[in-house]
Amino acid sequence: YFRRKWLAEPLLQQHGIGSIILMAPFYGKRQPKGQLLFFMKHAADIRLWCDGVGSECCALMSFFRRELDELCCPHVGLGVTGLSLGGGMAAVVGAIICKFPIACVPCLGGESMRAWSSGALREGIDWATLAEEIGSDEQSAKDRLHAWLGEGNVSTCLQLCPPSLASQRCLHVAVVNAKNDHFVPLEFGNDMIASLSQAAGERGSITVRLIDGGHAIGYIRRSCCLEAIVDAFDRLAKTQTVSGDPVLAAIEAIAKDVTHPHHPHHH
């Protein structure tokens, strides 16, 4: 988790933005028995990972929004970010959440999980075994997996928002992609940007940062990701409202009386 902490520490120390680092399924202490490092044993595990990360992130975001509101802190903003495939998942979460405004910062991510089967990661799949298991040739196995991984995408997740809540969407997006990315091809990133533009809503916004180099350079260029996160939260803060918060309303009233005292007239 050093890359995650590498981002989280300066966010807190320099910008006052705290982080919750999710331990995703199939990683760390959540690795299935017999799994080597982060290499999943089955192609189906990719979708399980995707569904698990998406549902857990959405649950965490909703939980903390509810807790903050109950603590009379509706002005405290929430956001989601991720790198590489985690960037794609950040985009998915941003597309699903429509009940409250959030910041969404996908870094080096794409529209779907198709990067597993079409980018440089495709070399890590045992295509011969997969083809044997599904009873087809390798090319057919590649085509079927590619199509299947593309089903769970940002555009599809947009449809999960009930029509009655669609008008409430407020997503402040800051995308960071690499111009010469061979792990998550830039075209996948462009598809993601198009979908997030729809998810932003009338009150939301989206910015795109393209860095020179490839995927590895994107990991090293921490400053670009930090700038994007801070930028998205700054834009989010401008749309956060404190109306209806009795505690803040009382504090504002007291502050107004102190700075502009009322002097009654004497007759």
pLDDT in tens, 20-65: 999 988 888 888 888 877 778 888 888 889 999 999 999 999 999 9
Burial 177-201, CB ≥16 within 10 A → b, else e: bbeebebbbeebbebbbebbeebbb
pLDDT of residue 266: 47
pTM: 0.86
pLDDT of residue 35: 82
From the list 181, 185, 55, 52, the residue with the least C-alpha distance to 117 is 185
pLDDT of residue 261: 53
**First vs last Cα of the chain: how many Å apart?**
72
pLDDT of residue 180: 93
pLDDT of residue 251: 54
pLDDT of residue 265: 46
| Residues of the chain predicted below pLDDT 50 | 242-244, 264-267
